[in-house]
Amino acid sequence: MMGPGWYLRRLSRMGPAEVVGRARHAVVQRQWRTALPTPPLWPAHPRFTAVLPAGVVGKVSAEAASRLLATADELMAGRAEYFGVVRSDMASPDWFLDPKTGRRAPSELYAFDVPYRSEDTVGDIKQIWEPSRHQHLTVLAAAYALTGTPAYAARAASHLRSWWAENPPLRGPHWVSGIELGIRLLSWVWTRRLLEGWDGVGELFEDNPDFQLQLWHHQNWLATLRSHGSSANNHVIAEDAGLLAAACAFGWFPESAGWRASAMRSLDAQLGRNTFPSGLNAELASEYHGLVLELGLAAAVEADAAGTPVPESTWDVLLRMTDALASIVDNRLRPPRQGDADDGFGLIVDGLETGRWASLLATGEVLFGRPAWWPPVPGDDVRTPLLTSLASRTSRASGARPGRRPAHLRDAGMTILRSGRIWARCDGGPHGFLSIAAHAHADALSVEVRHDGVDILADPGTFCYHGEPQWRSYFRSTLGHNTLELGGRDQSVSGGPFLWTRHAVTKVLAVETPPTGASRWMAAHDGYAPAAHRRTVELDGNVLKIVDEVLGEGGSEGRLAFHLGPSVTVTLDGTTARLSWPAPTGVPGSAAGVASGAVSGVPSPAAVGAAVPGEPSPAAVGTAVPDVPGSVATGASDPLVGRVSGSLAADGGAVRTAVMELPPELSWTAHRGETDPPLGWYSAGFGRKEPSTTLVGSGTPGHLTTLLRFS
């Protein structure tokens, strides 16, 4: 639970209007405690008309259908994985159970009394919330739509009836957060749409007083308690998207027209505020870019299909977001790993093995067309043909589009350097979005480098939000990124797990990204004032050069960190690190197309079970590292040897190599899987972590040069 100090720090980040708004919300919540709002009368014979056009299901490719049915069949067998934890109770879920801790959240408490941030009381709230987004039901409903098999529909119906019965309005943890209600409404819209033709669909939805009660209270909650002020980030987008979609598809209440209009106005305004002119999401967290884009597309298409006018400004933002995504992905269609990531999706009608980013780009290609500079996109997902079939043929975007692939997105401070198979992201942007910068990391001037989609210098990820403060602090710390730490402190000052009280200010000083030849980027930040950290990155052919300088007064002992991807094997000999990793296989854009990490929520084989804290490992100086990616030489007794993903000895496939020449001014050590304090970890997805190698140079920095040469 948060203490008084946190509440004071949080209050200090609010403006007067937000304070007044939160006071109004508190009054409403107090009123609802004793006087539950009453829904109006249900219309006598409501009709659901927001159905898919005839024949559209037949446009789904056999490959996409096969992936979907594989996931649906796992659900029918009662199995699903959430954040690295496999549940086997999904035939009849316990909606309040956290399988990770074994705790159950209180189901009878008034919603706003549930201490959802306390893992000791409630468990891991993300584990509890995620199944109740009901995105597994859209998968089951899509399986019914593709096959006509009633068992899929019956299972989805039983889950809905169970959830509605066990979660009365404003009771329990599932009524606490608006983002959960918004995404759940979107899932209900698509579940109803995909179950069209099933004999029991009318009895489950239109003729069901339980659904009526739930539907009205969800929409009334969102219309009354919309996020605002310093919290108006991706949450308000989800709230508006869910309210708009439900009011369009289930427009049967007297309030429906007003809800549609207000949600559309808010969505249009908030999409604009949450998006840089370049098209990148203002939270500077790649997964939230994907979440907001998915939510925005689903809501706009829903409104368009219902005849609700969608402003050109809404389509323009979604177009810019799609082009921005196309501009920053690597040659395997993976975007940067920047900022927080919690595996959140807006709409799921695909199997787990479908590549998320390829799917989003495929949808954007159908809706907006593709410029010549876009990367090739495989169009074999389920969502694209279904979602785009609902959009009208009216013009959906009129904004100007880049004539060539942008390399420097100035307003977001993101620069992508490319040379052949090499992709490098340089971070010179704002610390985060709004006054609290909730999903930011202390990663100013960090670099992220991939070779053919494989993480070489990796952003370690996020791992967790609540319940494990030591790990939350590590994964968003300066030392937890490929940048320079001075004086043992972060560049920006944290005030809590989703709060920063001081934001480092970064300025990009020079960018050169010619169509051919060497590229160069230079930026500096003031997080260590009066000292300044300036970094220059140059990419010329197969050589990446990083120059770090500490300027001005106040320089002190520092640590320069380089986090290697989990597929990388390291041999450290003094100031020379020899790297090797298996060459990737598979088609770019598919879940199997990258050799490291997880794509679309699918963990690598070693990620499940590898989240057990490892023992501290000494540095490997002048010693060959075993053929286990991310390891240092610790001897046969190391309990993690052989369990880290990407062993070069695993399949005898092609191996690629590189050499890092590290600054000799610093003393270099290698770290892997250390826990006290944490160091040497990679999180492929929320709730999952695995050991990887981190190289740390300690000493007094002045002018430091690092060379990374790819063979």
DSSP string, 654-669: -EEEEEEE--TTSEEE
Same domain, 319 and 198: yes
pLDDT score of 424 more than 90? yes
Same domain, 352 and 488: no
* Residue 283: both structure tokens together: 């939270």
Q: How confident is the model at residue 644, as a pLDDT?
A: 31
CA–CA dist 611, 687 (Å, integer):
8
277-318: per-residue pLDDT in tens? 999 999 999 999 999 999 999 999 999 999 999 999 999 999
pLDDT score of 453 more than 80? yes
Q: Residue 622 corresponds to which amino acid?
A: G
Residue 697, C-beta contacts closer than 8 angstroms, at least 6 positions apart: 559, 560, 561, 662, 663, 666, 667, 668, 704
* Boundary residue ending a domain (389, 424, 445): 389
562-592: per-residue pLDDT in tens? 999 999 999 999 999 999 999 998 778 876 6
11-38: per-residue pLDDT in tens? 566 677 777 777 888 899 999 999 999 9
| Short-list 180, 123, 188, CA closest to 161 | 188
Residue that is written with structure tokens 């007297």 in the block: 254
Same domain, 442 and 330: no
Same domain, 384 and 412: no
Q: Does residue 208 lie within any of the structural domains?
A: yes
Q: What is the CA radius of gyration of the chain?
A: 25
pLDDT score of 547 more than 50? yes
* Boundary residue ending a domain (331, 359, 389): 389
Give phi and psi for 80, each to the nearest 5.
-160, 150
Look at strands 414-419 and 688-691 and give their pairing. unpaired
Q: How confident is the model at residue 623, as a pLDDT?
A: 27
| Helix/strand/coil for 509 | strand
Same domain, 427 and 382: no
Same domain, 372 and 445: no
Question: Averaged over 104-133, what is the pLDDT?
Answer: 95
Residue 113, C-beta contacts closer than 8 angstroms, at least 6 positions apart: none
Q: Does residue 403 lie within any of the structural domains?
A: no
User: What is the domain count for the chain?
Assistant: 2
pLDDT score of 391 more than 90? yes
155 or 233, greater pLDDT = 155
Q: How confident is the model at residue 621, as a pLDDT?
A: 26
Same domain, 376 and 435: no
167-207: per-residue pLDDT in tens? 999 999 999 999 999 999 999 999 999 999 999 999 999 99
> What CATH number does residue 563 fall under?
2.70.98.70
Q: How confident is the model at residue 634, as a pLDDT?
A: 31
Q: Does residue 595 lie within any of the structural domains?
A: no
Residue that is written with structure tokens 């202390």 in the block: 442
Q: How confident is the model at residue 618, as a pLDDT?
A: 28
Residue that is written with structure tokens 């075993």 in the block: 626
Q: How confident is the model at residue 383, as a pLDDT?
A: 98
Look at strands 519-525 and 506-512 and give their pairing. antiparallel
pLDDT score of 624 more than 70? no
Query: Mean pLDDT, the chain, as a whole number?
Result: 88
Residue 193, C-beta contacts closer than 8 angstroms, at least 6 positions apart: 48, 50, 51, 52, 141, 249
Confidence of residue 99 (pLDDT cuts 50, 70, 90): very high
Same domain, 298 and 431: no
Same domain, 434 and 313: no
Min mean pLDDT across 63-72, 257-266, 395-404 is at 395-404
Cβ atoms within 10 Å of 605's Cβ, excluding its own: 11
Q: How confident is the model at residue 434, as a pLDDT?
A: 76
Cis ω for the linkage preceding 530 (within 30 of 0): yes
Give phi and psi for 312, each to the nearest 5.
-60, -30
> What CATH number does residue 293 fall under?
1.50.10.100
Q: How confident is the model at residue 361, as a pLDDT?
A: 97
Same domain, 412 and 331: no
Question: Averaged over 348-366, what is the pLDDT?
Answer: 96
Question: Averaged over 493-515, what is the pLDDT?
Answer: 89
Which stretch of DSSP H or E encloses residue 8? Answer: helix 4-12
Cis ω for the linkage preceding 677 (within 30 of 0): yes
Q: Does residue 54 lie within any of the structural domains?
A: no
Q: Does residue 617 lie within any of the structural domains?
A: no
Q: How far is CA 440 from CA 83, 286, 383, in A?
A: 20, 11, 30
Q: Does residue 507 lie within any of the structural domains?
A: yes
| Short-list 132, 99, 691, 64, CA closest to 384 | 64
CA–CA dist 630, 645 (Å, integer):
8
Same domain, 381 and 494: no
CA–CA dist 142, 72 (Å, integer):
9
Q: Does residue 378 lie within any of the structural domains?
A: yes
Same domain, 371 and 412: no
Q: How confident is the model at residue 596, as a pLDDT?
A: 40
Domain that holds residue 578: 408-584+651-710
Min mean pLDDT across 198-202, 340-344, 693-697 is at 340-344
| Short-list 228, 265, 223, 214, CA closest to 243 | 223
250 exposure class (CB count in 10 Å sphere: 0-12, 13-18, 19+): buried
Question: Averaged over 93-102, what is the pLDDT?
Answer: 96
pLDDT score of 463 more than 50? yes
Question: Averaged over 40-68, what is the pLDDT?
Answer: 94
Question: Averaged over 619-645, what is the pLDDT?
Answer: 30
Q: What secondary structure does DSSP assign to 34-90, as a single string? A: HS-----PPPSS-----PPPTT-GGGS-HHHHHHHHHHHHHHHTT-EEETTEEES-T
Q: Does residue 639 lie within any of the structural domains?
A: no
Q: How confident is the model at residue 9, as a pLDDT?
A: 60
Question: Averaged over 363-391, what is the pLDDT?
Answer: 94
